[in-house]
């Protein structure tokens, strides 16, 4: 996938891998790379930090856990309508849906041939809050759809675009949807207590001086 947003610095490339019960998203941007694995069975997200050879496990947020401000920004999942317009994208027949909410109007071309969309990673940094999904993401929850193209506009001006650029069907090992062997689990409590050498992942290692 290719994702562009007026709120981000440059386009991002997403490789989204799906297997029953799991969704892995690898993101490449101008600022570097990241990976997140959603384990739907255990209702958790595994954030992979390759530079530190570490991983962090966080529970998936629910709509009930979102702040009132976040819920208001998403709008109602019912604010989505099917237009009946059809288009073939990369060989998959898609139907156009439209979602309206405080974040703008999203035109969503979905197919029912690629399984259920699990959403984009919204993990935030270690110890930080998890950001809320966009309104169109919440509107697709529970529907057997996968978005091949999403365009969100505000006042007629495009603000966000997500577009699938290729689809490959292949066999993926279970190990691809778990933290690699030998990686350490990130423990925020231990880090805050000074038990983690080097401090915050990606930060300057402590040399004992002030």
Is residue 210 a part of any domain in this protein? Answer: no
- Taken in order 105, 45, 30, 1, the sign of the CA dihedral is negative
Distance between CA 57 and CA 46 in Å, rounded?
Answer: 5
Residue 208 lies in a domain: no
| Plot region of 67 (φ>0 → left; ψ -120 to 50 → alpha; else → beta) | beta
The tens digit of pLDDT for each residue in 153-162 reads: 999 999 999 9
Read out DSSP for 45-68? Answer: EEEEEGGGTEEEEEEPP-TTTS-H
What is the rounded distance in angstroms from the CA atom of residue 77 to the CA atom of residue 134?
Answer: 11
Domain assignment present for residue 59? The answer is yes
Of 40, 188, 4, residue with least CA distance to 119? 40
The domain of 30 spans 2-192
- Give yes or no for residue 88 having a pLDDT over 50: yes
Q: Is residue 197 part of a domain?
A: no
Residues 6+ apart with CB under 8 A from 156: none
Q: What is the pLDDT of residues 115-155, one digit of tens each?
A: 888 888 775 555 555 567 889 998 998 889 999 999 999 99
Q: Which of 9-13, 28-32, 75-79, 202-206 has the highest mean pLDDT?
A: 9-13
Quote the pLDDT of residue 69: 45
Q: Which two tokens stand for residue 30?
A: 């101008």
Of residues 122 and 26, which shows the higher confidence score? Answer: 26
Report yes or no: 137 and 169 within 8 Å, Cβ to Cβ.
no
Mean pLDDT of the 107-115 span: 95
Number of domains within the chain: 1
Joined together, the tokens standing for residue 39 give 């384990």
Helix extents (H) in the chain: 68-74, 135-140, 188-192
Cα of first residue to Cα of last residue in the chain, in angstroms, is 45
Report the CATH number at residue 147. Answer: 2.50.20
In a domain, 202, yes or no: no
Considering the domain boundaries, does residue 204 fall inside one? no
Could you give the CA distance from residue 45 to residue 59 in angstroms, rounded to a whole number? 6
- Domain assignment of residue 8, yes or no: yes
Q: Computed from CA positions of residues 169, 174, 180, 186, in that sequence, does the dihedral angle turn out positive or negative? A: positive
- Asked whether residue 138 is domain-assigned, the answer is yes
């Amino acid at each position: 996938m290719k994702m562009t947003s007026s709120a981000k610095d440059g386009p991002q490339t997403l490789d989204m891998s799906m297997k029953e019960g799991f969704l892995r998203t690898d993101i490449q941007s101008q600022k570097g790379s990241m990976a997140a694995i959603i384990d739907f069975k255990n209702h958790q997200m595994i954030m992979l930090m390759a530079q530190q050879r570490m991983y962090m496990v966080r529970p998936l947020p629910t709509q009930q856990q979102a702040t009132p401000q976040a819920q208001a920004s998403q709008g109602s999942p019912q604010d989505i309508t099917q237009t009946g317009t059809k288009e073939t994208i990369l060989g998959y027949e898609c139907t156009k849906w439209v979602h309206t909410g405080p974040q703008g109007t999203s035109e969503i071309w979905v197919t029912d041939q690629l399984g259920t969309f699990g959403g984009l990673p919204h993990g935030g940094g270690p110890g930080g809050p998890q950001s809320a999904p966009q309104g169109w993401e919440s509107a697709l929850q529970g529907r057997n759809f996968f978005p091949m193209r999403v365009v969100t506009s505000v006042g007629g001006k495009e603000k966000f675009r997500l577009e699938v650029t290729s689809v490959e069907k292949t066999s993926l090992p279970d190990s691809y949807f778990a933290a690699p062997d030998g990686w350490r689990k990130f423990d925020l409590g231990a880090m805050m207590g000074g038990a983690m050498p080097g401090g915050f992942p990606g930060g300057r290692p402590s040399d004992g001086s002030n």
